[in-house]
Each structure stands twice: as C-alpha cells, then as structure tokens.
Amino acid sequence: MNKLKEISEQIRESISQYVEAVDGTESVLDKTLTDMKKRIAEAKDLVATAIAEEQRLKQIHQTAVDAAEAWTKKADAALENRDITGAREARQCKEQQIQRANDYERQVLAQQAVVTSLKTTLIDFYQQFQNTVQRTEKLHHHQKQAETRLKLHKLLAEIEPYLSNVLEQTERKLKKTEAEAELWEKRNRPPETQSETNTDSINLDQELAKLKEDILGKKND
C-alpha cells in the first residue's frame, strides 16, 4: 500500500513539471505517458498480490472455523459416551480453533481495508492517466496548429523583401521605358513650321481646284 501511494504521489508531483517543460514538451509528455503505463501495470500487480493475500487469509479463517465445528462435534460425541477427558480435550481444541478463527477474521478485515485502499488509489491514478492522455492529445493538436501557423507566416514573410525589391525594379523599368517613349515621340514629331506649310499647301490646292471647277463650269455653260 505504501509503495503504491508513493508511486502515485511521485507522479502527481512530477506531471505538472513535465507538462510545463520549456522545450521538447511533446516528447516529454510521450515519455511520461509511457512511464505512467508501466507504473499502472506495476500497481495492478500490487493490488493483485493484496487480493491474493486476502483470499489466503479467508481460506485459513474458514479452515479454523471448520476445525472448531469439528471439535464441537467431537466434544458432543465424547459427552454422549461419558468420556469426560475426551470431551474436555475436544473443547480445548475447539476454543483454540475459535481463537484462531477470530484472529484470522481480524486479519481478513484489515486486509480487505488494504485492498479497498489500493483499489481506490489505483483507480484515482488511472483516472489521472486518462486525463493526462486527453490533455496530451489537446496539446499535440494545439502544437500542430501552432506549427502550421508558424510555417505559413514564415513562408509568406520570406517573400516580402523580394516582393518589394521586384516592385521597385519594375517601377524603375516602367519609368525608364516611359522616358524613352517620350524621347522618341519628340524626335518623330514634325516641326511646327513644316506642319503649317503643309496645311497652307493643302488649302491652296483646294482653292485652285475650286477655281478650276468654276472656270470649266462657265465654259460649259
């Protein structure tokens, strides 16, 4: 009983420290669960040993009870046969077996209390193990979520410097191209005097054509 309680107390004191470890929490938790499983198996063996001892004491108690009944019958038989000495001896043996049965009955009751305490401690420890398993699963799940978030944000953050650089280079290239386009546009644009002369020439030709039409029209008339 003391050994099982000591195991349980050690686990209770160390579980929080394991869970709150700064680095390597996941591996520490897995290791803790494995250790708890081993301790549960050991504790079950201790409980089984205590139960076996309880059964052994019960058997001895029952043997003493049966022996006392047997000596009672022998004492009665001796009295019927007027065997006073035999009856006295039988009663003495009966009293010894009754005393022995009473002693073992007290031992059985004490052992039953031990078994009950051991079972309760083991059940509590097993429940603690189950709670730790559930908490571990949640921590593992949250750990995976955090790792996914971390990878995503790192992945996106790593492109930011390159993205800004590419945008700046593209903007500079665009400005350079626009400047070259304006330069060539100016070079290919005709001078204003030449443009005006062409316009005047066009107007003059129109006037001459109109005049010719008027003259020819008059001749036909």
Q: What is the pLDDT of residues 61-101, one digit of tens each?
A: 999 999 999 999 999 999 888 889 999 999 999 999 999 99
Is 133 contained in some domain? yes
- Asked if the structure places residue 139 within a domain, the reply is yes
How far is residue 12 CA from its own chain's centroid? Answer: 19
pLDDT score, position 5 = 56
Give the three-class secondary structure for 101. helix
Contact 5, 121 (CB under 8 A): yes
Comparison of pLDDT for 148 and 202, the residue scoring more: 148
157 found inside a domain? yes
Whether residue 45 is contained in a domain is answered as yes
In a domain, 153, yes or no: yes
- Report if residue 26 sits inside a domain: yes
Virtual torsion, Cα 156, 162, 163, 166, nearest 10 deg: -160
Instruction: Report the share of the chain in percent with pLDDT over 70.
Output: 75
3-state secondary structure 33-87: HHHHHHHHHHHHHHHHHHHHHHHHHHHHHHHHHHHHHHHHHHHHHHHHCCCHHHH
Model confidence pLDDT, tens digit, residues 4-54: 555 555 555 555 554 454 445 557 778 888 898 899 999 999 999 999 999
Query: The domain containing residue 42 runs over which residues?
Result: 2-166
- pTM (two decimals): 0.57
Picking from 104, 112, 108, the residue whose alpha carbon sits closest to that of residue 47 is 112
The Cα 40–Cα 109 span in angstroms is: 25
Domain count, the chain: 1
Residue closest to 102 by CA, chosen among 66, 50, 64: 64
Taking alpha carbons only, the member of 122, 121, 114, 120 closest to residue 53 is 114
- Residue 7 inside a domain? The answer is yes
Q: Distance between CA 97 and CA 67 in Å, rounded?
A: 6
* pLDDT reported for residue 23: 47
- 155 located within any domain: yes
